[in-house]
């Protein structure tokens, strides 16, 4: 870690929801401790419901970009946290051989599709709060 603060990457399939939420929470809760990024195996654009859920919880992720991992070629991270099983199973070898942690969270759009439309917003908030609770404990869990 020659570049100062440890660099963390939250990775999921499309960088539209869970990894965006994790980046937002990590910046809010630990931005002074870690340099935080998120990406997807592909870039699917941000999910508007995720942006709304995070805003309702006091975290603005509207200006974060949805990026594909390929766009970060050459970047080095100390830690990569996969937040979905697909990303964990398909993550390529990354420069610098970062530590990998797999912490899956439910997919909010999938949860919302299984519930009544009136409960859709609650699905995103539930996942956002689960992510917050896990991200809150990062310093205790990680030796980065």
Q: What are the per-10-residue average pLDDT scores of the chain (144 residues)?
A: 80 97 98 95 95 97 95 91 96 89 95 87 95 93 63
Beta partners for residue 37, in sequence order: 9
Q: What are phi and psi of 44, to 5 degrees?
A: -105, 5
SS3 130: helix
**Nearest-angstrom CA–CA distance, 98 and 117:** 40
**Nearest-angstrom CA–CA distance, 73 and 134:** 28
* Residue found by looking up tokens 């979905």 in the block: 84
Those residues whose C-beta lies under 8 Å from the C-beta of residue 17, and which sit 6 or more positions away, are 46, 47, 49, 50, 107, 108, 109, 124, 127
Helix (H) / strand (E) containing 132? helix 120-136
Q: Which two tokens stand for residue 68?
A: 């594909």
9, 71, 18, 64: which is closest to 42 by C-alpha? 71
Q: Which two tokens stand for residue 56?
A: 């309702």
pTM confidence score = 0.93
pLDDT at 143: 63
1-19 per-position pLDDT tens digit? 446 899 999 999 999 999 9
pLDDT at 118: 84
Per the CATH hierarchy, to which homologous superfamily does domain 7-138 belong?
A: Response regulator (3.40.50.2300)
Q: Give Cα 129 to chain centroid, integer Å.
A: 13
pLDDT at 92: 87
């Amino acid at each position: 870690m020659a570049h100062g603060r440890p660099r963390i990457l939250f990775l999921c399939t499309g960088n539209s929801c869970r990894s965006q939420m994790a980046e937002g929470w990590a910046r809010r809760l630990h931005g002074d401790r870690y340099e935080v990024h998120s990406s997807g195996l592909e870039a699917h654009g941000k999910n508007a419901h995720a942006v709304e859920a995070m805003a309702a919880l006091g975290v603005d992720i509207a200006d974060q970009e949805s990026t594909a991992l390929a766009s970060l070629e050459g970047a080095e991270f100390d830690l990569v946290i996969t937040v979905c099983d697909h990303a964990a199973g398909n993550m390529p070898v990354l420069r610098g051989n970062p530590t990998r942690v797999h912490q899956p969270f439910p997919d909010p759009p999938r949860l919302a599709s299984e519930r009544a439309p009136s409960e859709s917003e609650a699905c995103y908030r539930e996942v956002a709060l689960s992510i917050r609770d896990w991200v809150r404990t990062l310093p205790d869990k990680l030796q980065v």
